[in-house]
Structure 1
Amino acid sequence: MAKIGFIGFGSMATLIATKMLEEKIASPEEIIIYSSSENEHLKKFYDEYPTSELAANEAEVFTKAEHSFICKLPLAVLPLVKDCAAVLTSERHVISIAAGVSTDDILDIVPSLQISKLIPSLTTAVGVGTTLISHSDKVSKNNRQWLEQTFESFGHVMTIREENIDIASDLTSSSPGIIAAIFEQFMEAALRRSSLSDVEVFQMINFALAGTSKLLVEEDYTFSGLIERVATKGGITAEGVELSHKELPAFFDELLNRTQDKYAISKQEIETQKRDLLS
């Protein structure tokens, strides 16, 4: 029986494994998990799916699973693959979700491995959002298709060049948090200027966001087309649009500068770690 493995079992691994079971991509018996700690995510998942398999160590997952997801923090990835190099042979397909660790970094440690990189999004929990995928040249056609088709059942998949994955991650994986932070401030500004309650303002903004998304997706609007539709020249909405055009470019340039600087620091740490592992 072909198995799907998870090494590390935090919130994102739990989301992926649960969606696979809900979408009938795998049965509980086909899931094998290794986690260094019995956290609440693992306990809840295993309580619900007790026929899933708990591995004794990471190497057991790699050995038994046809596809193995590494769901660990970036600085834990390269030591893991080095420790398990003996079982990471050319027929293994490994998928890393760690930001800052490239497929080339992993191939420098285990050159024959079929390694894919995947950046999931929390929004796949509700069947929307975009999952980003990059494959190394060594990944077989069948393994590419399996990974892409699996995540198509969660929402939308984009296969991209790995050189673009950091900026793309900001637009997919990070954007729900950034959007929430922006509209939280919109909510606070409205509360300062009215007697509306938190619940009332949140509901207004929440449904406005949901409706805007539906218009963009289902009615095929572009951003500029939607602005043109609702912002009458000289009207109230146009004032907000004009201010956004004036003030927001600098904000978003600085936002991307900060996130890209953070990626650069992470990559520098990974590069230093890799030199130590290979020395």
Structure 2
Amino acid sequence: MKVGFIGTGSMGSILIEALIRSGALAPSAIIAANRTREKVLALAERHPGLLAARSNIEVVLEADLIFICVKPAEYKRVLDEIRKLTMPEQIIVSITSPVLIRHLEEQLNCKIAKVIPSITNFVQNGAALCMYGTRMEEEDKTALEELLAPISEPIRIDEKHTRITSDLSSCGPAFFALLVQRFVDAAAVETGIPYEEATRMASRMLLGTGLLLTEGGFTPETLQKRVAVPGGITAEGLKLMDHELDGMFNRLIRITHAKFYEDLAKVDAAFLNAIE
């Protein structure tokens, strides 16, 4: 199977690198194109055998499964290029959350899927959120999930939950990285501990906490109870955090959803104009 990538920016390149490093794909099984060709040429230089296509058209003509990894505003341009070239047996996979499956099924005559990856896939971890169009057969879904399994845990979700699941899985690493950064900044300012040393300890703590929650049998609630002795130091810290964080994540979810629906409205308008 030849796998194509249209767009090799931040997430497109992460997917390519992760799939190659995990052994899920050989470089020779990949063809990729990017508006800035230097980026895809750099990937081809790092991974001999990877084919740097000269255009999106070349990707569609050569690949069986194609990931479209571009921003919402670029979708109309991409689809205008490839619309007449896709074949019914091909699979197009969008990784852009405001572009809905129905948008693509209205524009293209092939099989459509949507996958929301995470930066954690770069270290062969985290989830890949999978959604499928009406033309996808069960064997198509299985093939895509088997491709993603070496770098993630593929999780099938309802497309109506795209935004909140993306917040948890895809945006979450940045959100929790900010919490770690603030924790480390405060530790360095308040105590004088070297910043690099505090960062190393906090990062290992976050890794261990994730393992406790995924493999150690703990839930967020039981982990807090296990660490915090009533009346102890951790309990005092948790009391402060519970107060200060009250409502913060609710506001965060409202903000990400508002931005999602703003982007969705723009995509809807662009695709409506394309149909007309």
Q: Which amino acid aligns with 2:42?
A: K
Instruction: With the length of structure 1 as denominator, give the TM-score of the two structures.
Output: 0.93
Pair 1:38 & 2:37 matched? yes
Q: Which amino acid aligns with 1:257?
A: R
Q: Distance in 2 between matches of 1:98 and 1:60?
A: 21
Pair 1:248 & 2:245 matched? yes
- Unaligned ranges ≥5, structure 2: none
Structure 2 residue corresponding to 1:208, chosen from 202, 205, 209? 205
Q: Distance in 1 between matches of 2:24 and 2:199?
A: 36
- Unaligned ranges ≥5, structure 1: none
Structure 2 residue corresponding to 1:221, chosen from 210, 218, 221? 218
Query: Which residue of the partner structure matches residue 79 of structure 1?
Result: 77
Q: Which moved more, 1:119-128 or 1:53-62?
A: 53-62
> Deviations for 1:129-166, whole angstroms, at most 9, x for unmatched residues?
11111011111222211111111111211110000011
Q: Distance in 2 between matches of 1:192 and 1:29?
A: 50
Structure 2 residue corresponding to 1:265, chosen from 229, 252, 262? 262
Query: Which residue of the partner structure matches residue 64 of structure 2?
Result: 66
Q: Which moved more, 1:224-233 or 1:46-55?
A: 46-55
Q: Which amino acid aligns with 2:248?
A: F
Pair 1:120 & 2:128 matched? no
Structure 2 SS opposite 1:243? helix
Query: Which residue of the partner structure matches residue 137 of structure 1?
Result: 134
Residues 56, 199 of structure 1: alpha-carbon distance in 2 compared, 3 angstrom cutoff: closer
Query: Which residue of the partner structure matches residue 17 of structure 2?
Result: 18
Shift of 1:196: 1.3
Structure 2 residue corresponding to 1:177, chosen from 166, 174, 182? 174
- Tell me the percent identity: 27
Q: Distance in 2 between matches of 1:113 and 1:203?
A: 47
Shift of 1:118: 0.8
Contact kept? 2:43, 2:50, Cα under 8 Å: no
Kindly report which structure 2 residues correspond to 1:179-194, keeping only aligned pairs within 5 A, or say none: 179-194=176-191
Q: Distance in 1 between matches of 2:197 and 2:235?
A: 24
Shift of 1:227: 0.5
Residues 204, 54 of structure 1: alpha-carbon distance in 2 compared, 3 angstrom cutoff: closer
Contact kept? 2:37, 2:54, Cα under 8 Å: no
Instruction: With the length of structure 2 as denominator, give the TM-score of the two structures.
Output: 0.94
When the two chains are superposed, the root-mean-square deviation of aligned CA atoms in Å is 1.6
Pair 1:167 & 2:164 matched? yes
